[in-house]
């Protein structure tokens, strides 16, 4: 089965730059991974939209999503660049559409625009956004999706919603890609998000690397597509995985010690593929069988060991 592959770059959110103390060196480490991914022929690189680290907020670097998207668009030459995913609550959607349009030009048409409703309560409240209940966040998300698409496709768009209003904003240039910048929606909400994917998006991200969940969500998406008369096959179906590749004969306990911290290897392996090429293949094959056709990988410690990019890419050649 063929598939396309993307790769997250280390931006600090997952505590993946803490062994580098100088901020400029941290940024350059992120860029180095992006260039390695480009060299290894990945289809895309990805960043998260968060302000505070996980699993707990620490006084550590987390580079802002759209600033580094712009920077990476000039630091690279051919690879696509996306966000998994932009938090709708952090930016007015009309402004987001304008930012994205500009970066699509900066990148010569390589931007992928990811958008989701948002979830990380700590940073919402810390930055003064409040934290609306899920139904309210989802209604705002629905309005935002409609506005973003209007901003990319209409000369004088208007919209009057409960959360957002636009009155003929001029968005020029709208970007380079036609008919517009690809919109990737993240989340598996079956009544709102997946219906929005079917109606407006070019791609989705669902399931968190769980084949059963991917299958379930894509079945719902297909139903929405049939109801709306949209081609299901025209939508890219992505999911995300974490991969810690071992060299042949390498001890998993010792190799993962730094990145695991106090977490046991058994517990760590619940969310991260730990093993050689066979283990990676055993993770990816069921996801493709479940309907995913685009896998976005995160490689722990890649900021310090950029050779991990090519190591992972070598396993993926079989899916070309």
Long-range contacts of 23-27 (CB under 8 A, 24+ apart): 23/61, 26/61, 26/63, 26/303, 27/63, 27/68, 27/71
pLDDT tens digit sequence for 241-285:
999 999 889 999 999 999 998 999 999 999 999 999 999 999 999
Mean pLDDT of 313-317: 97
Q: What is the pLDDT of residue 194?
A: 98
Q: Give the model confidence (pLDDT) of 71-82 as tens digits.
A: 999 999 999 999
What pLDDT, on a 0 to 100 scale, did the predictor assign at position 245? 94
| Rounded Cα distance, 205 and 217, in Å | 10
- Closest by CA to 193, choosing from 117, 121, 270, is 117
Judge contact between 263 and 319, C-beta under 8 A.
Answer: no
**What integer pLDDT is reported at residue 227 of this predicted model?**
98
Residue-wise burial string across 120-133, b where 16 or more C-beta atoms lie within 10 A, e elsewhere: beebbeeeeeeebe
**How far apart are the C-alpha atoms of 94 and 254, rounded to whole Å?**
48
CA–CA distance, 145 with 136 (Å, rounded to integer): 14
CATH topology of domain 4-319: TIM Barrel (3.20.20)
Domain boundaries of the chain, sorted by first residue: 4-319
pLDDT of residue 108: 98
Contacts 24+ apart (CB under 8 A), 64-68: 65/11, 66/91, 66/96, 66/99, 66/103, 68/11, 68/27, 68/30
3-state helix/strand/coil string of the chain: CCCEEEEECCCCCCCCCCCCCCHHHHHHHHHHHHHHHHHCCCCEEEECCCCCCCCCCCCCCCCCHHHHHHHHHHHCCCCEEEECCEEHHHCCHHHHHHHHHHHHHHCCCCECEEEECCCCHHHHHHCCCCCCCHHHHHHHHHHHHHHHHHHHHCCCCEEECCCCEEECCCCCCCCCCCCCCCEEEECCCCCCHHHHHHHHCCEEECHHHCHHHHHHHHHHHHHHHHHHCCCHHHCEEEEEEEEEECCCCCCHHHHCHHHHCCCCHHHHCCCCEEECHHHHHHHHHHHHHCCCCEEEEECCCCCCCCHHHHHHHHHHHHHC
CA triplet 205, 209, 210: central angle to 5 degrees?
115
Average pLDDT of 25-32?
A: 98
CA distance 160 to 226: 28
- pLDDT average, residue stretch 167-187: 98
Does 9 or 249 have the greater pLDDT score? Answer: 9
User: pTM of the prediction?
Assistant: 0.96
Q: Which has the closest alpha carbon to 51: 63, 59, 39? A: 63
Question: How do residues 77-119 score in pLDDT, each as one tens digit?
Answer: 999 999 999 999 999 999 999 999 999 999 999 999 999 999 9
Q: Give the number of other CB atoms < 10 A from CB of residue 294.
A: 21
Closest by CA position to 188, among listed 234, 130, 125, 119: 119
Tens digits of residue pLDDT in 204-228 = 999 999 999 999 999 999 999 999 9
| Mean pLDDT, rounded, for 162-189 | 97
> What rounded mean pLDDT belongs to the chain?
97
Please work out, in degrees rounded to the nearest 5, the angle formed at the alpha carbon of residue 151 by the alpha carbons of 48 and 162: 85
Residues 25 and 303: their CA atoms lie apart, in Å, by 10
Which pLDDT value is given to residue 2?
Answer: 86
> Is 1 a residue whose pLDDT tops 80?
no
* Residue-level pLDDT at 310: 97
Q: pLDDT (tens digit, 9 = 90+) per residue, 132-164?
A: 999 999 999 999 999 999 999 999 999 999 999
Question: Are 3 and 295 in contact, with CB atoms under 8 Å apart?
Answer: yes
Q: Is the pLDDT of residue 56 over 90?
A: yes
């Amino acid at each position: 089965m063929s598939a396309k592959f993307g790769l997250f770059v280390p931006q600090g959110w997952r505590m993946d730059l803490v062994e580098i103390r100088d901020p400029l060196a941290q940024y350059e480490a992120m860029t180095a991974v992006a260039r390695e991914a480009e060299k290894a022929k990945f289809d895309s690189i990805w960043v998260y939209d968060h302000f505070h680290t996980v699993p707990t907020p620490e006084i550590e670097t987390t580079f802002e999503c759209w600033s580094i998207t712009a920077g990476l668009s000039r630091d690279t030459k051919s690879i696509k660049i996306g966000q998994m995913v932009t938090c709708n609550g952090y930016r007015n959607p009309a402004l987001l559409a304008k930012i994205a349009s500009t970066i699509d030009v900066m990148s010569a048409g390589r931007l992928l625009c990811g958008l989701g409703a948002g979830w990380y309560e700590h940073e919402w409240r810390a930055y003064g956004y409040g934290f609306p209940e899920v139904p309210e966040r989802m209604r705002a998300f629905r309005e935002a999706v409609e506005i973003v698409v209007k901003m990319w496709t209409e000369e004088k768009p208007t919209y009057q919603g409960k959360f957002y209003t636009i009155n003929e904003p001029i968005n020029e240039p709208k970007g380079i890609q036609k008919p517009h910048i690809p919109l990737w929606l993240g989340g598996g909400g079956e009544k709102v998000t997946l219906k929005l994917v079917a109606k407006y998006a070019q791609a989705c991200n669902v399931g968190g690397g769980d084949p059963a969940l991917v299958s379930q969500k894509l079945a719902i998406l297909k139903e929405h597509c049939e109801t709306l008369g949209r081609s299901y096959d025209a939508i890219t179906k992505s999911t995300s995985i974490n991969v810690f590749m071992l060299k042949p004969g390498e001890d998993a306990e010792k190799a993962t010690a730094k990145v695991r911290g106090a977490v046991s290897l058994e517990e760590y392996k619940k969310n991260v593929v730990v093993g050689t090429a066979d283990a990676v293949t055993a993770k990816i094959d069921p996801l493709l069988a479940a309907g995913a056709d685009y896998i976005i990988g995160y490689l722990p410690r890649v900021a310090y060991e950029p050779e991990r990019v090519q190591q992972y890419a070598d396993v993926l050649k079989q899916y070309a």
